[in-house]
């Protein structure tokens, strides 16, 4: 935890940004959950805890965290983007139920490797990828 705060401080320093309690709270809030939440959910969760922060600051802080790979942005095809922290969490992709919105995580190393090869083939320097499977989950079928 203290370790993660240090990480935030370092990143802010690297960006020439100041360490403020709002940024700290946003980061702690994102760290506190393993869910995939949108900016507004994060904002409201903070508000409910009595922490005064604005939507703008939530978005601004998330931007930095995403840039430094501490948070992942997830476009789920409809509605707002979702976010999840990447601390102690290995890379995974998502399979999403189109009816109930349930999100499950999966990893297939073979796919990850094949992606790298595609990038090489097209002479792209790979930065990130989106791999999302949309379907109907067992409960909704």
Residue 12 CA to chain centroid, in angstroms?
A: 18
Q: 15 vs 104, which CB is nearer to DNA?
A: 15
Other Cβ atoms within 10 Å of 37 Cβ, number? 19
How many residues of this chain bind its own copies (CB under 8 A)?
A: 33
Contacts of 6 (CB under 8 A, 6+ apart): none
100 lies in the binding site for its own copies (CB under 8 A) = no
Angle at 77 between CA 104 and CA 89, to 5 degrees: 35
Binding site for Zn ion (CB under 5 A): 84, 93, 105, 131
Give the largest Cα separation in the chain, rounded.
Answer: 52
Partners of 37 in beta bridges: 83
Q: Which does 134 bind (CB under 5 to 8 A by kind): Zn ion, its own copies, DNA, none?
A: its own copies
Partners of 31 in beta bridges: none
Q: How far is the CB of 79 from DNA (least distance, A)?
A: 5
20 lies in the binding site for DNA (CB under 7 A) = yes
Q: Which does 34 bind (CB under 5 to 8 A by kind): Zn ion, DNA, its own copies, none?
A: none
How many residues of this chain bind DNA (CB under 7 A)?
A: 25
Stretch that binds its own copies, among 1-9, 10-18, 41-49, 91-99 (CB under 8 A): 91-99
Q: How far is the CB of 20 from its own copies (least distance, A)?
A: 28
117 lies in the binding site for DNA (CB under 7 A) = no
Q: What are phi and psi for residue 68, nearest 5 degrees? A: -100, 20
Show the tokens assigned to 65: 């965290």
């Amino acid at each position: 935890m203290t370790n993660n705060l240090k990480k935030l401080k370092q990143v802010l320093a690297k960006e020439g940004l100041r360490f403020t309690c709002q940024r700290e709270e946003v980061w702690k809030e994102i760290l506190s959950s393993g869910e995939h939440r949108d900016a507004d959910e994060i904002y409201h969760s903070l508000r409910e805890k009595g922490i005064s922060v604005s939507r703008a600051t939530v978005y601004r802080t998330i931007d930095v965290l995403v840039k430094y790979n501490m948070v992942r942005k997830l476009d789920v095809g409809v509605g707002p983007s979702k976010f999840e922290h990447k601390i102690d969490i290995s890379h995974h992709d998502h399979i999403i139920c189109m009816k109930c919105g349930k999100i499950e995580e999966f990893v297939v190393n073979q796919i990850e490797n094949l992606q790298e090869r595609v990038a090489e083939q097209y002479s792209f320097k790979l930065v990130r990828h989106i791999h999302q499977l949309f379907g109907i989950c067992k409960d909704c079928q």
